[in-house]
Structure 1
Amino acid sequence: MADTTHGQPGKSLAALTDQCVMCGLCLPHCPTYGLDQHEAESPRGRIAVARRLASGQLPVSAETVGHLDRCLACLACEAVCPSQVEYEEILIQTRALLRPSRPRRGRLSRWLADPAILVRLARLGSAVRAGYWLPPLARWLPGSSRLRRLAAEMPRTPAHVPVPPRPAPVAADRGRVILFPGCVASVFDRDTLDAARLLLGALGHEVAMPTAPVCCGALALHAGEVEAAARSAQATHSALQACDAETALVCASGCLGSLRDHGMPGSALRIDDVLAFLAADARWPQLRFKALAQRVAVHLPCTQMHVGSGKQPLLQLLASIPGLQLLVLPDQPGCCGAAGNYFIEQADHADRLRAEKLDQFGRQSADLLLTTNIGCRIFLGNGLRQRGARIAVLHPLALLARQLETQA
């Protein structure tokens, strides 16, 4: 196999798998290993499979492919690996290696990897208020179980929490920043984007957004479509650069890594986590927030912890709301099971992981659940509704915008 790194010249798959010394320190941190204690469902086991596939010692079979497909790509293993094994790159290259030998992907899988179609599907679901009638009728839909699964997990309404009226106007004297709207998030996470605009504006930033649909390419990358992912990310970089600013801010932690990995050569555009950007703003302490005497649970997505800015900026921002009691959900298992399109492709594993996460939430007796990724937000929100819990699931920015009072 040619040496590639996300489609670019780099280390070969054989060299990457040789980084692993098979110590097993990653096993307790792997959500899929935690479900059944199956060695082949661990990072160590999957690296062994990848090594033998790369050398031709192991034939491609439904069993070996299944072990790789059931990986969440949460990267919890990378975070704790003493040998600094590049597990994400191993997974991407192995999936790309297997792509030619796989059956032709179904229509739904191809749609999910195409940003233009993905945006149209999301808009269609929003326009017909799919959540009111589609989930109950999902089992009657023709076609594959994946299509029925997607229909069942559609949000009941486009996720929306009204953003309060804008406080007293603040002069945009801090320069321009770009807000990355995403594809699915541009439809189902509008309240988060509105909240980000409000908070950035309150700090004196002019906010620009691309007018054309943009996609980070993460779903294509998860499917082993390295070239398609790179095309999506690079087209997005071009759209962001056209907004004429030095920094692009990302609200959905799941989009951050893909955009950073596929930057345009020679581009000075900086891709940043909006939470880290706000937390570092010298004017943030001047903002005033209305008190909220509630217990608020925080789910930290895998991408927030292993690609984004971690939990510190998030907790720092939320501490600005007086009276808030913050409860961070335990990090075992870290993943809620959404994981891009994993909740469609691996429904059983996804549901088991979500159940564990919702059990954690239930033990906290919290009034509200916050998370920074749109996929986690939709998946956990649906899980709560299925349990009969009337609990809102918000992006932290939506809560901050709701409580924003004025500027000093």
Structure 2
Amino acid sequence: MNSASQNEEILGSALQIIKVEDRRTRDIFIRLPWSLYKNDPVWVPPLLVERREHLSPENPYFEHAICSLWLAFRNGNPVGRISAQVDQLHLEHYQDDTGFWGMLEAEDNLETFQKLLNTAESWLCSQGMKRARGPFNLSINQECGLLINGFDTPPSMMMGHVPPYYAQHIEQCGYGKEKDLLAYMIDGDVEPSTIRKMLLRRTQNRIQTRIIRASEMDKDMEIIFSIFNDAWAKNWGFIPFTPHEFTHLVKDLKMLLKKQLVRIAEVDGIPAAFVVLLPNLNEAIYDLNGALFPFGWLKLLWRLKVKCPQTGRILLMGTLSKYQKTLLGAALAYRVIGDMQEAVIKYGIKKVELSWVLENNVGVRDIIKDFGGRQYKTYRIYGKELC
């Protein structure tokens, strides 16, 4: 169906779902949140250039996944959107015939949610999937989960924000909880606890930490890549980063990387754990309305290089699986998080979000709480049996 035919059909129906197949509809898809969140004081408009890149064929996610996008129009006005994805890496890893949906945005209307989700589900069935899971924008290694608690504060970078009615309508469409993902907030100046001091004292001769080396950035990123894929391998829903995905992520975030905020921990001289903390990009772009031109670039560079954001996010963190659930593993976690606390003070960062953490990861949750961390947002992954 060409664009003219689509326009005629849209205008002739109260609610119409169309597939995104050209540049015009893709642009409507990307810009839709602006109309839905115009009165939401804590929503942060994403950078349009980043959203376009995210959905472009250049995203290495599409080297192992296929995706379709749809828009919902009511009386000719865009009121909703959704994506559906089939990830070959997931299918090879789990062999569970599970497909995914995401990028969901919609007006407060059950019919709109029903038609969008039904469209995504039908497409997943046509691809041989027997179960739907979401939201994933687009994979578990990108933004995922639906906000169900913590609506009154702005989202941190690469974390989502939706109004409370989303969860209600998704559940009315037959979806149930599969897993909750937790976000914690930690103050930058919490005093060490007794247990933290004891663990670090007992392991001080075996654990050393260092910042990443500008002269050997690629080598250090390969170390982090290797530790991450090992550390997360047994976690629920895990899909390994491909080498191209990881290098693409590093390239995208390079402007935010500060060597003092990326640490590698070694046990007896062998890399064993890491942490990556980034200044919160959302704090720097909140008033740019998604645009970097003509003056957005200058504002962004000044805010990141001169006036550092006062909030940050621990985006990636991991400990080799052989040390997990051991005292040495706990000491590694205490050490890298503790190092971050010392470093953020230098950059003027006052609060750090640590996200996301699986609800059943009790060990890490206890360590975060020992740092004074408080759970302040909850994101939910939903699932539903299909055809």
TM-score normalised by length of structure 2: 0.25
For CA contacts below 8 A with separation 6 or more, give which structure has more relative contact order: 2
Greater fraction of residues in strand? 2
Greater fraction of residues in helix? 1
TM-score normalised by length of structure 1: 0.24
